[in-house]
Amino acid sequence: MAQATVGVAEVERVIVTGSNIPTAEEVGPNPVDTYRPEDIQKLGVINATDLLNKLPAEAGSTINQNIANGGDGSVIPNLRGLLPKETLVLIDGKRVAVTGLGIGLVGVDINLIPFPMIDHIDILKDGASAIYGSDAVAGVFNIFLIHKFRGVEIGGSVGNTNMGSSNDARELEGWLKAGVGDDKTDIVVIADFYDRADIFSRDRDISSNGFAKPWGGFDNRSPNEPGLIGEFTATSSLGFRLKPGLQRPTPHSAANAATSPQYTSNIPYPDGNFTFFNFAALTPSIPGADRQSFYGSFTRDICDKYLTLFADFKYARSYFRAALAPTPFVPDPFRNEVGSAFSPFGISVPIQNAFNPFTVANATIPADSQTFPGTPVYTGVAYRALEVGNRFSPTTFNDILFNVGLRGEMSEFGDYFKTWNWEAGFRYSRNEEENQSRNVVSQSGLREALSLYYPAWLRPI
């Protein structure tokens, strides 16, 4: 009889997300989805924002780069919709520095990890607080970087639309990946750049006007617009507006808005943008963004797999160009006796102001106010700083990650230790966020400017 030959299969050692025993032989019951570059490519996504929008485990409000009003360009996973702070994000199985947008929105910005640097992503869809701690209540998002690569790869992508004026939706990415090594050493270097153009609301018919009732929506336009006087009565339910065709009212030309020939309360609704301010004509729907990233990895087996030296470094800088409509002049810079805004709508303009179109005050700043007490004013004046332009809120992230250490296996000590391993190392992770606010209006400066008195011969004609 012939003796059968029994083959021995060698199991590749891997790191399992959601298990205290990180080997291929002991896998815990927790459900893990793994996404490799080819899987991400099949999803048809080229950036972190699109990836989160495609993931079934991602739910609720997503923090991404499509937030034009209040966003800072970070992309933070939010598994199960339980707030980003409940999702633990790891890089190579270890914690990294978070970016904080506010209470409940603290998390790791995965936009700072370009796809060309990623080997695979493990998503633990179940709660893992027993293993990782209370910050993994919703699950774990574990990103594994590339540590082994041979050759040189130069790649890039260009994306745009073919919808006429929408061609400003340009998206570019390019990368260089290089790696060398042998059976003991691996060295990998990766550089990546990304740039996305702004898409303005005015570039799409459906978003070009805040008046969305024709589309089944609401009127989202703002009453804080130049030329509006907020005297809301039974005969002027929408207040008074400067008549179309006039750039500015004549200073000191009438007693009040009701008697001025330059103002009207005959405001049909809806009537284009005469009734309210259409901010959509100025603001972006999707702000522009860019990113530059650099990564290097070094691995050296000193004593086969029993002692391995590893080190890697990653630096990423991202820039996000958020913008809002010009600053509305609210609340009123003048205060009442308890420190609240004096005018319930808009601002108060002193009668002595050289540009005030009215000559009779409709209110007086209280004597016990801390802001120009006893000053006669005309209240309910709406305005925006159109001369200054859009409010600009650029955000810059600088992210640094450095690892160095030793690891090894303990199988040389016998079969009992064949699945044991150890690791000792140092990790430095730092995330810096710089958020600027430009073209905003100082309340104290506005109050001082409104209170200036000009002699008659200096007043504008």
Averaged pLDDT, 427-452: 92
Of 58, 48, 107, 102, the residue nearest 78 (C-alpha): 58
**Could you tell me the pLDDT band of residue 103, with boundaries at 50, 70 and 90?**
very low
CATH 2.170.130.10 fits 32-198+287-325+391-435, yes or no: yes
Length of the chain in residues, anyone? Answer: 461
CA distance 130 to 132: 6
Judged by DSSP in three states, 203 sits in helix
**Could you tell me the pLDDT band of residue 346, with boundaries at 50, 70 and 90?**
very high
- 348 dihedral zone (left: phi>0; alpha: psi -120 to 50; beta): beta
pLDDT digits (tens, 9 = 90+) for 146-156: 999 999 999 99
- Mean pLDDT, all residues of the chain: 87
**Could you tell me the pLDDT band of residue 24, with boundaries at 50, 70 and 90?**
very low
Q: What is the DSSP string of 317-369?
A: EEEEEEEESSPB--S-SSB-TTSSBSSSSSEEEETTSTT-SBSS-SEE--TT-
Q: What is the DSSP string of 240-275?
A: EEEPTT-SSPPTT-BSSTTT-TTEE----SS-TTSS
Of 284, 293, 321, 46, the residue nearest 159 (C-alpha): 46
Sequence spans of domains, the chain: 32-198+287-325+391-435
DSSP 399: E
Of 66, 114, 110, 115, the residue nearest 84 (C-alpha): 110
Judged by DSSP in three states, 17 sits in coil
